[in-house]
């Protein structure tokens, strides 16, 4: 029968070796090429004489994009045409938009960081100016749709 310290040591060794292997795998790169039959193939080394594309594998956390793209997106999301759109809404749509605007306003008025997706779909943290533009946008939508 094995004693407890030996089992714990073996488990720690196994976990340590797994973490090293996953860190090694995270830094791997692979190649992609098209074979003679037109099939796309992936591998660690491309065949000689074949034009291959190297693919780097990136794992873990991504670096957040700068806040400027989000500010530009927020600035481009102008709702100055809201009153014209109100007459084109289906019944019940104004109520839904009103509720959404109220929820957005409540989110923007919370303390803490606010993240939105930029044009590339990446989350970015809003600065004070961008946050205020979103508050103004929500207030305008509330005036338009919450009657």
Dump pLDDT digits (tens) for 28-60. 677 788 888 888 888 888 888 888 887 776 655
Stated as kind and residue range, the H or E segment containing 123 is strand 123-125
Question: Is residue 129's pLDDT more than 70?
Answer: yes
Structure tokens given for 126: 């809003």
Evaluate whether 29 touches 55 at the Cβ level (below 8 Å): yes
Evaluate whether 64 touches 122 at the Cβ level (below 8 Å): yes
Model pLDDT, residue 83: 46
Q: What is the pTM of this model?
A: 0.41
Dump pLDDT digits (tens) for 74-124. 445 544 445 455 566 777 788 888 888 898 888 888 877 888 888 888 888
Quickly list H helices, 27-127: 68-76, 82-86, 93-109
Question: CA 53, 58, 59: angle at the middle one, nearest 5?
Answer: 150
15: left (phi over 0), alpha (psi -120 to 50) or beta: alpha
d(CA 138, CA 65): 25
């Amino acid at each position: 029968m094995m004693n407890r310290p030996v089992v714990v040591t073996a488990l720690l060794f196994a976990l340590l070796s797994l973490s090293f292997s996953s860190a090694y795998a995270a830094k791997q790169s692979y190649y992609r090429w098209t074979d003679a039959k037109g099939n796309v193939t992936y591998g660690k080394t491309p065949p000689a004489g074949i034009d291959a594309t190297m693919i780097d594998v990136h794992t873990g956390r991504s670096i957040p994009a700068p806040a400027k793209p989000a500010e530009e997106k927020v600035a481009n999301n102008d709702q100055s045409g809201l009153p014209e759109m109100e007459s084109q809404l289906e019944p019940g749509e104004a109520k839904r938009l009103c509720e959404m605007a109220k929820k957005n306003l409540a989110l923007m008025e919370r303390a803490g960081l606010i993240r939105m997706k930029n044009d590339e779909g990446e989350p970015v943290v809003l600065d004070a100016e961008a946050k205020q533009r979103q508050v103004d946008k929500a207030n305008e939508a509330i005036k338009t749709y919450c009657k």
